[in-house]
A and B are shown apart, each in its own frame.
Chain A
Amino acid sequence: MFTPIQIFADWLVYNIFGIAQDSKLGSALNFFVFDSIKIFILLLIIIYAITFLRSFFPPEKTRKILAKNKGNIFIGHILAALLGIVTPFCSCSAVPLFIGFVEAGIPLGVTFSYLIAAPMVNEVALGLLYGLFGWKIALIYIASGEMIAIVGGIILGKMKLEKYVEGYVYKMNVKADQDIPDPSMKEKLLDSWVFTWDLIKKIWIYVIIGIAIGGVMHGWIPAGALAEYAGKDNPFAVLIAVLIGIPLYSNAAGVIPLVSELTRAGVATGTALSFMMAVTALSLPEMILLRRVLKPKLLAIFITIVGLGIVFTGYLFNFIIA
């Protein structure tokens, strides 16, 4: 499928730029051109597909589904984690969403399941994972994100933390549900395209930088060079990766291309996965916003449980994937 891109990259680098095929610069540049084009084609397709799918699940609909199932907590957690994938989510709406869910009587733990899954399993991360690591790793990422969301939400729910939610949240008195008009199919197809294009415009520079640094590493760092430090045998690698990943918010676009190079250089897959999850799941701006509805103690518990879930997943995959 990607042969034409390889032919183009070979032609551009070796014929047009006139760089020798066996030089380090040549192979790095060729890799950069090929990877960039491939990634952008895949990103375009995947972001568009997910955005279009999401246009069928506005948060108002998600809330209705979850409110209907509030009797069965276990099903609630599973539904919330699944709906987290298909509901459009941006950290700027995290607070209205949280209040809307709690107001509708959706249990706190179930709301957290949603809040963990929604940012972690996102269109940019999936597009890049599929493009750089293949569908297996992309699926493992989705499955572990869902597991962390379900289990994390169940634990948070069991801890009876309602008293650490800011008091005003329970006294909102939301006016009768307004019916927000559902766009037509034509509008959905078009809106998804506008959204996809806007998103690509926002992230392309980070992707390019990530791939460029990856390209440099590809040319100069031999495969396996980092295995000694961040391979499976270093018991602290996952923990350190998660601690580095948590503050690196919002830049999944630049981080994932780098991580794909790191795994080639010997960083264990589980360590790489947990690093990416830490980058996407816990972002500083989202935490600052959530502070408006969660008291500091609850926010700290939330971050700790998600963090531990990610660390555990990292070790699990280092253990399973040979």
Chain B
Amino acid sequence: MIIKILGTGCKRCKALEQNVREAISSAQVNATVEKVEDIPSIVRYGVMSTPALTIDEKVVSAGKVLSVDEVVGLLKK
């Protein structure tokens, strides 16, 4: 599973990344986390509010710092 965090490196983006990493270790799934910080690449996902999260190239959330539990829920879907 490839998880991407879309964000320009703001505080909220870092908070999301932290939560995603915690969620992956607590849900014990096999996933790689990538960061997309370049604006054109973010916009190509159709995302206009950051931070956003994609799982296997599908946008699952935008404009929100998901909590660890919320990310776990998305990972298990």
Contact = CB atoms under 8 A, between A and B. Distances in A.
Interface stretch (B18-26, B27-35, B58-66): B58-66
A2 interface: no
Given A58-B63, A191-B64, A92 B58 contact: no
Contact of A99 (B8, B12, B43): B43
A21 to B, nearest CB: 45
A174 B62 CA distance: 16
B47 interface: yes
Interface residues of A, number: 27
B44 A175 contact: yes
Contact of A172 (B43, B48, B52): B43
Contact of A92 (B40, B50, B60, B62): B50
Given A60-B46, A100-B48, A177-B46, A95 B39 contact: yes
B66 to A, nearest CB: 10
A176 B58 CA distance: 12
A168 B10 CA distance: 23
A96 B43 contact: yes
B63 A88 contact: yes
A33 B25 CA distance: 46
Interface in A74-98: 88, 90, 92-93, 95-97
A97 B47 CA distance: 8
Q: Which of B8, B46, B50 has the most CB of A within 10 A?
A: B46
Nearest to A59: B48
Contacts of B72: none
A180 interface: yes
Interface in A171-228: 172-178, 180-181, 191, 194
B45 A175 contact: yes
Given A100-B43, A176-B46, 9 more contacts: A58-B62, A60-B48, A63-B48, A96-B42, A99-B43, A172-B40, A180-B46, A180-B62, A181-B61
25 contacts: A58-B62, A59-B49, A59-B63, A60-B48, A90-B10, A92-B8, A92-B10, A92-B50, A93-B48, A96-B8, A96-B43, A96-B47, A97-B48, A97-B49, A173-B44, A174-B44, A175-B44, A175-B45, A175-B46, A178-B58, A180-B47, A180-B52, A180-B59, A180-B60, A181-B60
